[in-house]
């Protein structure tokens, strides 16, 4: 029997799973959710349906889902008993400003811990959680170091591999160096399957540089680096802080922290424009496009996709038009 615990949300700390003697595996569909018009007509997000298909095929002793998205919350119903492993739903509070909200997140991770013990895990022995936290923290630090040395698509693949295995790949990644010059582009939005990493390459082929990855499986949803002094004294408290307090997402209410993140990161990244990309079924991101444009004061290109075969060429035309606009501004 496998000891893998598969999960879908960045709010599920892999360190907590590893501390229980199990193997954390974060899953993201590797292909876009195309050809799912029937699900869309029935009110089911095809991305969620594609995730359900992947979870049903992935060997695991447990599946961990989160309440950060209504469609992902419905995955057990969508799968209709196809998951071989039992499912636990992690209740991630949508509010964040109160001690009660933080306390709920803490209690939910504790509940997850008890669930994992029932699935063959072991209650963390002294030192196991700090060791797991140190390992994942060092891996994320290494990835941050590699970011300016890689093309955006290559770094995204390295980050995805890290989510799946907890290791930073040293070989086997596609060759590619970051482009030199060109307008800086901040990419913002929901999850981006590996089968749609062509968006990074398309932006660079059009002459731009993806200088900030704010997609759901990009750098926006990485926890902050751990405080190593606190790691020794209160590892679990530090873990909860680093995830719940530091990861900014569109589902939070109020979602002012997402805009705090943008105001901090956009100037430092050198972005000259923002591309907001999400699937057509995601009302949360669609509702934020206008506010993103007002908040950042930069040109914003809104891309909503369905994962259909013709999407790449339509996107290419719009991205090239954005790049031409930025070049004209620069040459004035």
Query: Tell me, what's the pLDDT at 172?
Result: 46
- DSSP label at 178? P
Which of the residue ranges 36-40, 55-59, 246-250, 289-293 would you say has the lowest mean pLDDT? 36-40
**d(Cα 131, Cα 112) in Å, to the nearest integer?**
19
The beta-strand segments (E) located in 84-124 are: 87-90
Predicted pLDDT of residue 27: 93
Both structure tokens of 100 = 């009660």
* Domain 129-223+250-331 = CATH 3.30.910.10: no
Confidence band for 267, pLDDT divided at 50, 70 and 90: very high
pLDDT at 33: 62
- For the stretch 133-156, pLDDT in tens is 999 999 999 999 999 888 999 999
Is there a shared CATH topology between the 4-125 domain and the 129-223+250-331 domain? yes
Tokens 């492993």: give the residue: 85
Q: What is the pLDDT of residue 309?
A: 76
Domain ranges of the chain: 4-125, 129-223+250-331
CB neighbours of residue 172 within 10 Å = 8
pLDDT in tens, 111-131: 999 999 999 999 999 899 999
Does residue 232 surpass a pLDDT of 90?
A: no
Residues 6 or more apart whose Cβ sits within 8 Å of residue 310? none
Distance in angstroms (rounded) separating the CA atoms of residues 54 and 62: 14
Q: What is the pLDDT of residues 59-90, one digit of tens each?
A: 999 999 999 998 888 888 776 678 889 999 99
Residue 195 CB-density burial (10 A; 0-12 exposed, 13-18 middle, 19+ buried)? middle
Across 52-65, average pLDDT: 92
pLDDT of res. 211:
95
Given this model, what pLDDT does residue 47 score? Answer: 84
Tokens of 101: 């909200």
Chain-wide mean pLDDT for the chain? 90
Q: Can you give the pLDDT at residue 149? A: 87
Residues 6+ apart with CB under 8 A from 295: 259, 262, 263
Helix (H, G, I), strand (E, B) or coil at 276: strand
Which CATH code is given to the segment(s) 4-125?
3.40.50.11890
Mean pLDDT, residues 255-270: 96
Check if the beta carbon of residue 45 is closer than 8 Å to that of residue 39: yes
CA-atom Rg of the chain in angstroms: 20
| 8 A C-beta contact, residue 49 and residue 158 | no
Which helix or strand (DSSP H or E) is residue 287 part of? helix 283-296
């Amino acid at each position: 029997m496998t000891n893998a615990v598969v999960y879908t949300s960045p709010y599920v700390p892999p360190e907590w799973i590893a501390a229980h003697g199990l193997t954390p595996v974060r899953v993201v569909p590797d292909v876009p959710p195309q050809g799912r018009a029937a699900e869309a007509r029935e009110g089911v997000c095809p991305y969620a349906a594609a995730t359900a298909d992947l979870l049903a095929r992935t060997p695991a002793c447990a599946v961990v889902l989160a309440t950060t998205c209504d469609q992902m919350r419905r995955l057990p119903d969508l799968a209709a008993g196809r998951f071989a492993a039992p499912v636990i739903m992690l209740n991630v509070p949508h509010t964040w400003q109160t001690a009660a909200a933080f306390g709920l997140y803490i209690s939910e991770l504790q509940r997850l811990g008890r669930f994992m013990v029932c699935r063959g895990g072991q209650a963390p022995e002294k030192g196991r959680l700090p060791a797991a936290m140190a390992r994942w923290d060092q891996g994320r630090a290494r990835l941050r170091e590699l970011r300016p040395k890689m093309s955006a698509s290559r770094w995204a693949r390295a980050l995805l591999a890290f989510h799946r295995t907890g290791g930073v790949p040293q070989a086997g990644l596609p060759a590619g160096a970051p482009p030199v010059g060109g307008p800086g582009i901040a990419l913002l939005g929901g999850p981006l399957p590996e089968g749609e990493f062509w968006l990074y390459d398309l932006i660079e082929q059009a002459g731009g540089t993806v200088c900030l990855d704010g997609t759901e499986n990009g750098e926006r949803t990485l926890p902050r680096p751990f405080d190593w002094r606190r790691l020794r004294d209160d590892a679990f408290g530090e873990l909860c802080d680093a995830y719940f307090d530091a990861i900014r997402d569109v589902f939070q209410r109020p979602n002012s922290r997402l805009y705090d993140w943008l105001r901090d990161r956009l100037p430092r990244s050198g972005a000259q424009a923002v591309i907001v990309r999400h699937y057509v079924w995601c009302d949360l991101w669609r509702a934020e496009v206008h506010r993103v444009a007002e908040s950042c004061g930069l040109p914003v290109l809104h891309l909503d996709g369905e994962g259909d075969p013709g999407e790449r060429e339509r996107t290419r035309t719009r991205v090239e038009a954005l790049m031409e606009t930025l070049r004209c501004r620069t040459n004035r």
